[in-house]
Structure 1
């Protein structure tokens, strides 16, 4: 007996640990929302591409699109390029779409649209390592002397790679530094400053990359923003050889080339990496890209549906199923909670019902008819069915013919009640046909047997207990926040099974028995 108890406790502990682990993974790793009412921002970005072809020529367009991964998940991509062939290529840091056509002439317009959301991000970007060393960019003459002086000065003011980069940025943005002005050659654009920053960092053997971002704000004509980034690992000094960077692990660090701030703001999304232009058109001129951004809010369940198909981590989600199948699964997943209610009401409270699963099936029927009409129709059909069953008892029929007659009578009664309610304007009465006819027939049979064996009062108590239990189960099984939780986190059923196993050893008094034996206790 002691080994059996230990065995049961081990099973319960395993189920609890497994269920909690799966749910925690969904919540903290996949960022799955706990509430259906929780909303998140969904950004829709339109890229309008225009260019001109003089004459009739074959055309090839290469356009950078955002990589899948990182802080934002890409979904619902739409490429609109009528008459063009299309190919999307995954590169080390970018994705490149290529459109091509044999003969094109005149003004051309292509569109690209996508949705971005922070939900279910795979964070692929952070797992891609970058170069840790680069050779210096060749420079000679006065520029070389200026670079040597600037690098020496920056090294004296910095302690590691990250501070060396920020100091370099501040130095390049100093309008009073004559060495910097020599390198910029009187050009004050951000592109010229980034080239100067890259030149100086190369002589400290520090590689950087250009990162082009979009700001997530409602706008109709936005241009990409230029950032720089560098992959930094621990124990790297100002020349990538020693020292440390405050103990941080290897990662990509983004720097604002105008003020040296570290880290991308939350409203920035990386569109492409590198010094190439966002678009390159072969045999085309005057190529330009206009970005339009719009924001909408979606509930958690809609975000889950939107991103489930695009994420490897959620490819087995229920949200990838067809809608009709999802609705059926939602009903199926709630049945164990109806059984749990019956378990508590029977074993803890002490309410008598007609079996274990009959109230659950009646509760499922209440989902179609509604609780009020369902209870009324259930009572009417069972009442008249009991009258018929009582009459058939006097005929001394065998059980199978008796059940067949009761079933036929139930069908006829359901039809009559449906027609009568329709004439009175109660359209919900038509849903009575969804009641399981066999269940109603067996309910009538079992109630009549209980009536004969235990008396009318006990049969009435059982019927009322069945209705009460079915009503409570209907309320729990139809509670929308619980439906969302179970459908989104099906591992909750493991916790439910663990609780049922624990209840399987309950041998204590039921609450109604305390009232029953109240006089004896006194």
Structure 2
């Protein structure tokens, strides 16, 4: 069992990370790239009516999980009214009540919706075959003739509905003319299509919605036909028989009822206005998570103060840099001074930029190394010698900053961002390697440290990686899993394959 402990741990870490990442990216909608915006629409319904005396009740259909869209926010604007919402059959309705209204009344419902990348509602339950209407003659014979003719030219439920709608739209013959006329409204045509589809035992319903445009007022409601193909409801355009709603279409309610029903009031009117808006994708995802009451938002970095967020934007990249060091040391075989020194130097490069940072780092280490060799002649103990090196490093940094400022080289001012203790330890370590293994090994490790720091810097300044690790900190679990996996690698390093290439040739010969 012990041999499987580490592989199981690695798989558990990866699975946990990918699960949280998938939920936040595809269910909550957190963006995968920085500075991403998402479009949404503010839809407003204005309901007006005139009280006739006594307590008034106004029932208004409002959207409930519209197809291809999701509700981000909604507001009910009314003064002096009580409000309840609930489901009534296939629809959701808002019920406004008040006791003694006077004068014309106006109520507002406002919602913010956004488009989903995919519809999350799944399959709609099949209501089953419907009972055919009880027509009298000559309507029964005409309906049977129309249904028989349409069935002969269709292959399934959807094509049956499209052929029927087109037949109703074309110049009607003597059978169709019994059911429709050119002066019929869209609602009447959909009602007729539903009855004829019921004659073929096909469930159908009426849908009402509005197009989501960039900016519009007094939008007209559009009436559509929907048929159930045993898996889902399929929308059919009543004008031409085309299948599917147009892009950015919002279904408001289903059925043949009016959207506003009044008690002790008259002259109901409803109008719609739409405005398209663009928001930062992260803000939209946060609001979406609050609407969905996601527990992940309780552990989100976005709840921290801005100053703390900025600090973690840097700290979250340190594990990534550590993983790069493990990869380059254990797999490639690059030698460095210490394990974390290249990561800290890479963080300093974020402020100094790569070329300026390499020049400043090389200059300070070279000068510090020369002074360190001088301190050797003084025969100092270890701790005083290290303290002396730290003091010298700070003095060198101060001198470089002053000189660069006087010379107008602003990059030199950022030398103060280098971790002075790490520089002192690097100088100490380099001097020991110089003495024990010679200058070539010391220079090789110094160049290796700079190369690893440069590689980590190039990865850590990538805005996409910065964004991903801040928005999805669970990706650190994958970095941990990769580091644990590399920790068991005991094979040849790439540098060793190059180094022992000559021996391989001799063995083959």
Using the size of structure 2 for normalisation, the TM-score is 0.76
The equivalent residue for 1:241 is none
Task: State the alpha-carbon separation in 1 of the partners of residues 396 and 91 from structure 2.
Answer: 68
> What is the deviation of 1:154?
3.8
The equivalent residue for 2:478 is 494
The equivalent residue for 1:67 is 64
> What is the deviation of 1:427?
5.2
Alignment of 1:44-83 (within 5 A): 44-51=41-48, 53=50, 61-68=58-65, 70-77=67-74, 81=78
Task: State the alpha-carbon separation in 2 of the partners of residues 311 and 429 from structure 1.
Answer: 50
**Which of 341, 357, 367 lines up with 2:324 in the alignment?**
341
SS at match of 1:129: coil
**Which of 234, 237, 260 lines up with 1:253 in the alignment?**
234
Measured against aligned partners, the alpha-carbon deviations of 1:395-452 in whole angstroms (never above 9, x if no partner) come to 5544344444544554565556556555555555555444334333332332333333
Query: Does residue 1:449 correspond to 2:449, yes or no?
Result: no
Contact 2:38/2:281 (8 A) holds in 1: no
Query: Does residue 1:292 correspond to 2:274, yes or no?
Result: yes
Inter-CA distance 260–407: structure 2 relative to 1 (3 Å threshold): same
Inter-CA distance 454–59: structure 2 relative to 1 (3 Å threshold): farther
Task: State the alpha-carbon separation in 1 of the partners of residues 425 and 267 from structure 2.
Answer: 80
Contact 1:16/1:495 (8 A) holds in 2: no
Query: Does residue 1:209 correspond to 2:193, yes or no?
Result: no
The equivalent residue for 1:278 is 259
The equivalent residue for 2:449 is 466
Task: State the alpha-carbon separation in 2 of the partners of residues 53 and 423 from structure 1.
Answer: 80
Task: State the alpha-carbon separation in 1 of the partners of residues 62 and 379 from structure 2.
Answer: 81
Query: Does residue 1:195 correspond to 2:176, yes or no?
Result: no
Measured against aligned partners, the alpha-carbon deviations of 1:109-155 in whole angstroms (never above 9, x if no partner) come to 63614131223x4612x344252244555x6xxx6224422332244
The equivalent residue for 1:244 is none
**Which of 474, 498, 501 lines up with 1:514 in the alignment?**
498
Inter-CA distance 254–82: structure 2 relative to 1 (3 Å threshold): same
SS at match of 2:209: strand
Point out where structure 1 has 5 or more consecutive residues left out of the alignment: 234-249
Alignment of 1:416-435 (within 5 A): 417-418=400-401, 421=404, 431-435=414-418
Inter-CA distance 41–478: structure 2 relative to 1 (3 Å threshold): closer
The equivalent residue for 1:226 is 223
The equivalent residue for 1:477 is 460
Contact 2:41/2:114 (8 A) holds in 1: yes
SS at match of 1:73: strand
Using the size of structure 1 for normalisation, the TM-score is 0.74
> What is the deviation of 1:353?
0.9
The equivalent residue for 2:116 is 118
> What is the deviation of 1:252?
1.7
The answer to which of 362-371 and 97-106 deviates more is 97-106
Inter-CA distance 309–410: structure 2 relative to 1 (3 Å threshold): farther
> What is the deviation of 1:226?
1.0
> What is the deviation of 1:387?
4.9
Task: State the alpha-carbon separation in 2 of the partners of residues 31 and 321 from structure 1.
Answer: 14
Inter-CA distance 398–423: structure 2 relative to 1 (3 Å threshold): same
Equivalent residues, number: 496
Inter-CA distance 172–63: structure 2 relative to 1 (3 Å threshold): same
Inter-CA distance 276–333: structure 2 relative to 1 (3 Å threshold): farther
Point out where structure 2 has 5 or more consecutive residues left out of the alignment: none
> What is the deviation of 1:320?
7.4
> What is the deviation of 1:512?
7.3
Aligned CA RMSD, in angstroms, stands at 4.7
